Every structure is written in structure tokens, then in C-alpha cells.
Amino acid sequence: MVRTPNLPPRLRREAQRAEDAARAAGLDFFEVVFESVDARDLNAIAAYGGFPRRYASWRFGMDFERLHKGYSYGLSKIYELVINNDPTIAYLVRSNSLMEQKLVMAHVFGHADFFKNNAWFAPTERRMVQTMDAHADRLKRISAQQGQDQVERLLDRALGLEGLIDPYLPLQQARSGKSVDRVGRARASFEAVMDGRPAPSPVPTPIPGSTLPTYDCLAFLIEFAPLEPWERDVLCIVRDEAYYFMPQRQTKIMNEGWASFWHSRLLTNGLLEGSEIIDFADCHSGATASQPGQLNPYKLGIELFRHAERLGHDIFRLRKIHNDSSFIDELVDEEFAHENQLFTYHDNPKGGGPQIASRDWRTVKQELMNSLAWGGQPRIQLREVDAEGALVLVHRHDGRDLVLQEAGQLISQLAHLWGAPVHLLSLDGGQGKRVTAGKAGVSVADCEEAIESCGGATSPKQRPEQKRRTA
């Protein structure tokens, strides 16, 4: 079930051996396709998020420029690239050594198993290669009609809103038997218009997630904003792709941990020659190294799975039901925090950079879960359309403030799409704030109401005003 269209015979044999070993160990995956590419091509594919084809956008060009420069100067190199799809597609860099290829293959089978079996991936589109291709075609068609610049402007606007979706919606939909990505109405009317037929009368089949209050801002816009059909279609594409990528944000630690756990186990249980062990150990420890003050998802993930195995958990069940946040809730205990030397840090109020704040495992655990919940992104709820027709967004504050100035730029793009002002309620240093974007630009005002709306029961922790250190 592994396909190796352009691999040399030696690698083909290794791919087969890796697959046999993975299956024997109990991993379960869609067909895996390994494709061998050179580093430059891999950088291009990586800039497209792993897909052979995406719609035209300068952002992919910029990402490529960055990856390619990094690679040319020897600063960075992509080892593995695998995409959630049926068949699962993975790339092997031609210049890697045989040991590295074996490592990547075993690692890929770990990811492939995770994609197929983890609950958060269950609602994702599994024919994403074709879907991306279709998106590219649709945008090409729209560009031909509306002009490249128009489409680019809308895309740039919409992409900032990518984070305004509800990570929990797909699972809820899947449970209730409805699927999330059938935004058929907009598409049908768009296609009708393209073919010169009258648009179907707007009998609303509400888009899942578009009833207030909602976290799925994009769905609400698609449904209710005064947009041209083609604009709706562009937003649908952006939303579909955002939902596709969301589970990868939510399970970064688990996914990398699971893949590393299995590459390590499979390689040291027969896939490696004795002479390759030292090189492997070097490579593996490089991938799982952690700087003080940094968390490496590969390292944290693999340790969590090892810890679970020691405690007698069914690790296959764990990889099925959890996301990063709930996984940590389930597994991090005093022993784990101690052994892995976990700590929380904050900026030293006297200056001089961050310092270790606490080694109390409960504090560490809480903070870790906080930072990973909601895919690591700010939780923004669309609460209502107020009496003046303005959108009211509420930032569910978890102790971390937003960069309000940038949030202002973002909601002004939102206001543009909505065609009326947009308010965002948030907290800044414990003070309630309302950011408003409208025709007159962006303004920030103090707002008592926001304290209650955003903070809810958890009062925001008081923190010294401190510039955050830059990377």
C-alpha cells in the first residue's frame, strides 16, 4: 500500500520495509505515496503548504523566497513534508543520506497513522489535493472575470480573517451528522451566475456556524455580508482551507510526538543497520533538542507518549481522542513536569529578559493548556449585530492581551467586507477597551462593559507593563 513512483530501487525496498514494520507495530494509515524531489522543488512545495498546486498568490512566492534563501545560505533545511490526504503524500529530499531517508519514512508513517485516526482530523477533507486544485481553478476563473488585482485585494483581506473560525465546529457537525464544508448555496448561485442563469432565490440554507453568537466569523460573513457572488466564493475557499489546516495547529505536539515516537521505535527495532545507529542518534537528538526556555513540540510530544506508555495508558487510544490541550491535561503530572524540567517564565519586571517564574507543576500545566487551547490563537467571538448594524466581536481574554493596533487593522478589513463598522471588545492590562473600525478609521476607547464581556469569571492577572522581547 505504499507507492513510490519515482524512487530508486534501494529506497523502494526501504519504503516497503518501513511500511511492513509500521503495520506490524499496529499503525494504520491510508495508502502512502513517497515522492522524491530536489531541495529547491521541496521548498516550492512547502511554500504551497505541501500541495502541488495552490491558487496564485504573492504570499506563496514570499514564503518560497524565504525558504529558498534560508536553504541556499545553509540556515535551514526541510527534512520532512507530509500532507493529510488520501492517499497520504510525503516527499523525500533527494540529497538526504539513506539513514535520513529511512528516518523520514518511518516518521511519515507515524504522521499518516495520526492523520487517519485522530478524531480532530476525521472531519477534514481527505481529497485535499484535488480540492486545492479545484480552488486554484475557481480563483483563476474569477480572476479572469474580475481582474487579478481585485481578487488579490480580497484575498489579502480575507486571509487575515483565517483565524476567525471555530475549531470545535467540525467535530460538532460531524457528531450531528452534518458536514461543515458544504457551503453549497453560495457556490450554486455563483455558478448559476457564471453560466448566465438567474441566481437561485436566496432561500437560506444557513451555513453551519453562521448563527449568533458564533466563533465562525467567516461563515457569518459569507452568509450575511453584502458581497458579490464571486466575493462569497473567494471567502468560501479561504474558509475551507482554514478548516483543513486547523487540526494541524491543534495537534502539533501530539502529531510530531507520535511520529517521532514511532520513527525512533521502528528504526531501532530493525530498520537500521548497526553502522547507522550513531548517525541516527545524532540526527534524532538534533530534532528533539530543546533550548532552555523553549519548548520543542517533537521533544515534548515524544516524552508525553513515552510517559503514557510507562503509566500503562493505551497510547493508540490517546492518539485517537485528544488534541494537544486535552492530551496535556490527561498526562502532565508532577513526575512528568519534574523529569522534563518544565517551568513557567515571565519577563523580569526589573528588566534583563525573562526569568523562571514557577516550577509548580499545576501552574505549568495550566499555563501550557491555556496557551495551546483554541489552536494557540486568540478566541474571538462574534456576539451580535448591534442596533446600528455594526458587528460586535468579543475577545475571550485568557490573560494574554492582543496587539490592539494590529487588531484594529484587521477589523478594519473586516469592516470593509461587512460594509459597516466593527467593534472589538478586549482587555489591555486589565483595562476594558473597545476598538472600532469604520469609515473614519480605527479608534480605541476605554470600555467598562468589555471587562465583564471579555474576562468573564477569570479576572485578568495583573502584569507589569513590559515590552516583550523580540526574537
Partner 1 sequence: MGYEVYRMEKDRARFRDIVRGRLRGDLKKYLSSTELLGQRAGRTISIPVPQIELPRLRFGNNEGEGVGQGPGKEGAPVDGDDQEGDAAGAAGDEPGNHVLEIDVEIEELAEMLAAELELPNIEPRGTKQLLSEGGRYSGLRNQGPRSLRHFRRTFKRALTRTIAEGNWNPADPRVVPIKDDERFRMRRTAPLPESSAVIFHMMDVSGSMGKEQKEVVRIQAFWIDTWLRSQYKNIEVVYIVHDAVAKIVNDEEFFHLRESGGTKISSAYELALDLIQNKYRPDQWNIYPFHYSDGDNWSARDTSHCISLLRDEILPQVNQFCYGQVRSAYGSGQFKKDLDKELGSSDKLVSASVDGRDEIADSIRIFLGRGC
List binders of partner 1 among 425-464 (CB under 8 A). Answer: 429, 463
Q: Is 83 helix (H, G, I), strand (E, B) or coil?
A: strand
Among 23, 25, 33, 160, binds partner 1 (CB under 8 A): 160
CB of 435 to partner 1, least distance (A): 11
Cell numbers at residue 384, please?
451580535
CB nearer to partner 1: pick between 73 and 195 = 73
Kindly give, in sequence order, each residue whose CB lies less than 8 Å from that of residue 203, ignoring residues fewer than 6 positions away: none
Strands 32-37 and 88-93 come out as parallel
CB nearer to partner 1: pick between 160 and 174 = 160
Cα gap 416→393, rounded to integer Å: 15
Pick from 15, 198, 6, 193: nearest CA to 104: 15
Site for partner 1 in 7-46 (CB under 8 A): 35, 37-38, 40-41, 44-45
Interface characters, 105-144, with partner 1 (x: CB under 8 A)? ----------------------------------------
The DSSP annotation for 436-468 comes to EEETTEEEEEE-HHHIIIIITTSPPPP----PP
Phi-psi domain of 149 (left: phi exceeds 0; alpha: psi -120 through 50; beta: other): alpha
CB of 151 to partner 1, least distance (A): 12
Site for partner 1 in 182-201 (CB under 8 A): none
Site for partner 1 in 48-67 (CB under 8 A): 48, 52-53, 56-62, 64-66
Q: What b/e sequence results for 415-441 when a residue is b if at least 16 CB atoms lie within 10 Å of its CB, and e otherwise?
A: bbbbebbbbbbbbbeeebbbbbbbeee
Q: Is 273 helix (H, G, I), strand (E, B) or coil?
A: coil
Q: Which stretch binds partner 1 (CB under 8 A): 120-128, 155-163, 191-199, 255-263?
A: 155-163
CB nearer to partner 1: pick between 296 and 326 = 296
Distance of CA 177 to the CA centre of its chain: 24
What are the C-alpha distances in Å from 257 to residues 21, 71, 101, 174, 381?
18, 25, 19, 26, 31
Determine if 159 is a binding residue for partner 1 (CB under 8 A): yes
CB of 38 to partner 1, least distance (A): 8
CB of 131 to partner 1, least distance (A): 17
| Number of residues forming the site for partner 1 (CB under 8 A) | 83
Site for partner 1 in 66-85 (CB under 8 A): 66, 69
The residues that bridge with 427 in the sheet, in sequence order, are 432
Site for partner 1 in 395-414 (CB under 8 A): 399-404, 406-407, 409-410, 413
From the CB of residue 69, how many other CB atoms can be counted at a distance below 10 Å?
12
Determine if 5 is a binding residue for partner 1 (CB under 8 A): no
Site for partner 1 in 162-181 (CB under 8 A): 163-164
Cα gap 450→440, rounded to integer Å: 22
Cα gap 62→121, rounded to integer Å: 28
Site for partner 1 in 251-290 (CB under 8 A): 290
Site for partner 1 in 283-322 (CB under 8 A): 290-297, 299-300
Q: Which stretch binds partner 1 (CB under 8 A): 78-86, 124-132, 261-269, 376-384?
A: 376-384
Determine if 377 is a binding residue for partner 1 (CB under 8 A): yes
Q: Give the amino acid at 392.
A: V
CB nearer to partner 1: pick between 275 and 462 = 462
Type and span of the H or E element at 186: helix 184-194
Among 30, 71, 245, 345, binds partner 1 (CB under 8 A): 345
Cell numbers at residue 75, please?
540556515
Q: What angle do CA 204, 210, 212 make, to 5 degrees?
A: 120
CB nearer to partner 1: pick between 57 and 172 = 57
CB of 14 to partner 1, least distance (A): 21
To which residue does cell 487551547 refer? Answer: 373
CB of 273 to partner 1, least distance (A): 30
